[in-house]
Chain A
Amino acid sequence: MAVEEVQGADVLAPADPGEAAEAVKASRVVVPRGGGTKWGLVAARMASVAGTQGGVRIVDTTRLAGILQYDPAEYTVTVLAGTRLDDLGQVLRRAGQYLPFDPPLAGRGATAGGAVASGLSGPGRLLRGGVRDFVLGIRFVDGEGRLVRAGGKVVKNAAGFDLPKLFCGSLGELGVLVEVTFKVLPAPPSSGTARFGFDRLPDAAAALRRLLRTPLEPDAVDLVERRALQAASGPEVAGDDPWSLWVRVSGEEAHVAARLDRVEDVVGAPGARLHGPPEQALWDGLRDLDWASRAPAVLRLHTTPGRIERLDEALQRLGALRHYSVAGHVAWAAVESVPARSLVVSELAGLADAALALRGAQGSPHVLMPGEGFARRVKRALDPAGRFGGNG
């Protein structure tokens, strides 16, 4: 197993699941790491376990890479956790399939394990579901260094507790993932995007909600502030409108344009259309947070379409750049620093269910999270000695 030293922490790079288990057993505190794309999450963990007696080990999973099982007719694929999502995406594409949850930062080396552990999905999760809806099975090393398997490799399975879902968003605090089985779907043959400009957020949010009530099945609906777009894509895409609503539909090429016409009817205005590489670039940029790449701190807030206007007022008071994704279920806010938890609680009471600091966190990356008592029990069960930090 390769060992190097980073930031005063040893880095162990196991080459197989057995070595990963050994690495955990041999360490007092372990921070799992994938492709290095969500450094904020790892950095926050490093900060929270710094100074631990006996030192902190990073378990780097990037050598645990490779596709173990893929039969397109099964709609499932099993990979080692360190497999890069872009490598996996290429293999799926050749078979006309894809991961509909639209994992962020795939192009930057994000891994399967890191995607599941961070539980983040992109704008495309709107129609078919998020990462949690596509993880069928996992194998992980628990806090005692045991290799545990849960879930399965078929698209439907109700046997035993659903640990695969539990691990979505677990941020390496419950175990080191060594293997993941995803459900995949046929990729839509084509797509098209319409952009609508708005002067006022309430009008844009109302149009967004009208769209959701239709059976038009848009697969992405995002609402972005001009300043954020400018940072991502430059002035020509951003346009002059303070807010823009981006609606993507997918399907047979013959129907995409007609469906966008119907989207325009619902919004009540003509939209500017994007297709092909510029369309792809726009959504990649939004998904990978290009617009927030220079922000010292980035928050992800979990809300609902009906709360956009009120939440926006609060985020404005925090001085944030705003991007509402997944039709308003996710709010991204780029800020100067992560606000104190108490401020988040008082400002956002009732406006967001929860918040996660993706970058710039001090201490715990969870700024606000429901079910903490339940989560502590889960933690005690899988990591009783607190090897993965956060010994709640």
Chain B
Amino acid sequence: MVSDPAALRVYETDGLASERQMPLTVVFPREADEVVATVRACFEDEVAFVARGSGTSLSGGSVPPPGGVVIALNRMNRILRLDPDEQRAVVEPGVVNAHLSQAAAPYGLYYAPDPSSQVICTLGGNVAFNSGGAHCLKYGMTSNHVLGLRVVLPDGTVERLGGSSLEVPGPDLVGLFVGSEGLMGVAVEITVRLLPKPEAVRTLLAAYGSLQQAGEAVAAVVESGLLPAAMEIMDRLAIEAAEAAVHANYPKGAGALLIVELDGPRDEVESDFVRLHELIRRSGATEVRVASDDAERLKIWKGRKGAFSAVGRLSPAYLVQDGVVPRTRLGEALCEIEQLAAAAGLRVANVFHAGDGNLHPLILYDGRRHGERERAEELAAAILRVCIRQGGSITGEHGVGLEKRQFLGEMFAEDDLRAMARLRREMDPLGIANRGKMFPPGFEEAGEAGRALLPSAAAG
């Protein structure tokens, strides 16, 4: 347990550096029982708490609630079981995403969800946010790979959800818990599916004069019926940043880069790749590079995976957005973002999961300049509204957290939010698990008052 102010400061914030809150204290459980004891104590004293993995949340999800306790799970980082025959692993929540794939590698297996932060983020954080990554297009999100959970509910009750089979009967409780942003309790044990490593992987990099051309290439690939494992786009600014940071040796002067990766059984990948290559060559690419070995492939990905942090070199500060638009409206959305950025007088770098319509505009700003941060936040809001207007979502993988609370109410109607709030209240009558996150500001409190008026409250 930590209560020294200097040491507490480390836990004051997460990947969204602009939000800070000093925790009351930080506990470092090594065993599930210690988590249970902590949660029970919080419940008895009505103290809010937040579970924390590596604190890489970009939406303020792991910022402590005011006066709250941080349950830091990094020390619960054992792989409890790795069963190659059953193709599954049982892990503690603090296991780092990439470590699991490393441990599975000797058996020819890997864990598919690969957020760009995979070398530091934890599986507990991945579960809470239903994290994605570059390979979601073919393999789905975290939720598609979690079979079972052992969770500590906010009143200290322990429940097992799901199991180790691919299928469960009854309502999909694992599916509900995954992505619930720490509001339904703490995952203390996670059973995940491991997949055989694909036999063959082929990656190409194509340079285009403009973002729009790259977007059209994505549409052409989708239309062809090919199912790539990943399709990622970076714009000029993101390329510049990645170049400066990791020297990926990307084509010079490109307006946009498209990375497409195919994986699967060798014969299929080889013939699909011929089709893909042909398609890309006809798509107006100024240069096409094909990774000839693993080293070249990793180099292509290094620039992409390092793009967020690389952008940090171009600007003293930046906001990462995470909106989704219908894939067919990507071009339109990117144009609008460009216009909005110009109007705000701010630079925006785009790197994104193009195959999923999942945008990550990085809004560059200088907090020392008067009013610039506010303008950046306004621009971020305007971008999210573009996503909502187009029928998309305010988050594809980073969660709502603290940052996007007010937009949840713009995406959903009041009755929709109330249904979620009722679920939250049944799981957590005191509202102590990650209090203040996800729901619009003031909503939960108003919900409490409104509840007395509902005839259903008494019957429940």
Contacts and interface: CB of A to CB of B under 8 A. Distances in A.
A163 B168 contact: no
A326 B167 contact: yes
A375 interface: yes
Contact of A353 (B159, B162, B178): B162
B327 A146 contact: no
Contacts of B264: 215, 217
A149 interface: yes
B236 to A, nearest CB: 25
Interface string B39-82: 00000000000000000000000000000000000000000000
Contact of B169 (A148, A157, A366, A378): A366
Nearest to A259: B265
Given A74-B328, A215-B196, A162 B179 contact: yes
B271 A156 contact: no
B167 A329 contact: yes
B175 A384 contact: no
Contacts of B179: 158, 161-162
A167 interface: yes
B400 interface: yes
Contacts of A305: 85-87
Contacts of B424: 161
A213 B170 contact: no
Interface in A126-173: 126, 129-130, 132-133, 142-144, 146-150, 152-163, 165-171, 173
A174 B148 CA distance: 21
Contact of B170 (A126, A156, A165, A366): A366
Contact of A258 (B267, B395, B454): B267
Interface string B346-357: 000000010011
Interface size on B, as a range, is: 35 or more
A373 interface: yes
B159 A130 contact: no
A303 interface: yes
Interface string A281-307: 000000000000000000010111110
Given A163-B419, A306-B83, A371-B160, A154 B196 contact: no
B324 interface: yes
B168 A144 contact: no
Interface stretch (A53-61, A102-110, A248-256): A248-256
A216 interface: yes
Contacts of A365: 169
Given A374-B159, A385-B456, A252 B176 contact: no
A71 interface: yes
B25 interface: no
Contacts of A161: 176, 179-180, 420, 423-424
A377 B423 CA distance: 8
B415 A148 contact: yes
B276 interface: no
B422 A382 contact: yes
A186 interface: yes
A43 B129 CA distance: 38
Interface stretch (B137-145, B366-374, B375-383): B137-145
B327 A73 contact: yes
Residue of A212, A302, A369 with most chain B CB atoms under a 10 A cut-off:
A302
A66 interface: no
Residue of B108, B165, B399 with most chain A CB atoms under a 10 A cut-off:
B165
A380 interface: yes
A171 B170 CA distance: 7
Given A156-B396, A371-B162, 14 more contacts: A142-B419, A148-B419, A160-B416, A162-B176, A165-B178, A168-B172, A255-B268, A259-B265, A259-B267, A259-B268, A306-B86, A371-B160, A382-B419, A385-B456
